[in-house]
Structure 1
Amino acid sequence: MKFLILFTLITGLFVNLASAQVRDTVIKSTDSVKTQVIKPVRKDTTTKVMSRQDSMKAAYVNPGKVAGRKAVFRSMIIPGWGQLYNMQILDDGYGTRAGKSQTLQKVYTGAKIAAIYAGFTVLTMSYIESTKQYKLFLKELQYRDANNGAPDPNGPFGSRYSTSGITNGKDTYRRNRQIVLGSYLLVYAANVIDAYVAARLHFFNIDDELSFKVSPSVITSNSLYGFNGTPALKLSLTF
């Protein structure tokens, strides 16, 4: 009887130890596994694709350069058109002069347009007159060459001028025509340059806060023989 009770106790002890070992093993295996939390994905979420343009920094566009190119293009086609474009910029209120009185600037721009066409008009009249006089002197010279130096009795000069004087007059008016043609190019170039400069200056900072300061300074330089200092003036601009 005692042996049976002892056997029962030993058997129950082993059963309890075995169950405890199984339970401990299950707990440890569960703890050793690292769980990873996965966030749910919303169905309405759209993935934004990064393009090359989005990844690059937007390039800076200088409005002064753009306006200058447009003014030059217009002035090259029709003289004075670039100046009219600059007046349009004033009306649109672009640039650093926006909000300020533009009356004097418009009058000045209009005067430049009038000066451009006045210059072309004067040059045209000069070219016509030089061509007319050149043909008269040339005709007189051709007549004298064909008649042994005798002046044309029906010509406008008669015997007032010698043959050398007629030759000099012909060369002078021919040279005047060439000068007029060169002056055409100068006025045309001045028209283009003025339109470009005015368009660029319209976007420059010319407000009341712009100032400059001149102060004495020294320009230093190192040479083979030692230190050299040259007196100079230092110009400082404040925007």
Structure 2
Amino acid sequence: MYKFLFVIGFITVFTFAAQAQVTDTAVVGKSDTVRKASNTAPGSFAPPIKKEKTYHPDSLHSPHKAVMHSLMVPGWGQLYNHRWWKVPIIYGGVGLLAAAVIFNQKYYTQFITLAKYKRQGIAPGPNDKYYAEYNAYGSGVSESDFASAADGNRRNRDLSILGILATWGIQTIDAYIDAKFIHSYTVDNDLAIKVTPGVLNQPVYAQSTNVSFIPAIKITFTF
């Protein structure tokens, strides 16, 4: 009888000891998991957070001034933003478009005048305007031909003028963006890059192939 009670008591003590050991292990594992998760950023594959970026607003640089400078003179806003290399690009584009305007205006005036000569049925004299051009084209060119050529030059001239206005507007927007998003904040230069090998799962359309994974390279930028 006493031996039976002793065996029951021994089993009871062993059971409580084993249960306590399991509880301690679970608590330790949970604590380690919490400690590890607290050192990472949100997200399953996010790297540990080392240092937050610091922004320093530049109160002396005004996007409004950059826009007003660009509206008054093309490229002035870029000079205000210290983007010197953009100025030759702006004036190169404006210069080409201005040359196109002058070229097409010249020939528009010429062809519309020659069309008037044809419509009136008279030939210009040696002292009249476009006398040499009228003789160079010959009598085989009709009034409608000259009118069509004049319409083409007028269309190209108008498109070139619109191009100049569009370039003016684009360089104004560019000056605003530079002043607002580049000069408004000074960002630190703490930039790092990490390249690690990895694998990708096979796409759905290629799952019938023998290869289950695709070799890949993972590139991580840290700002």
> How does the TM-score come out when normalised to structure 1?
0.47
Output the TM-score relative to the length of structure 2. Answer: 0.50
Structure showing greater Rg = 1
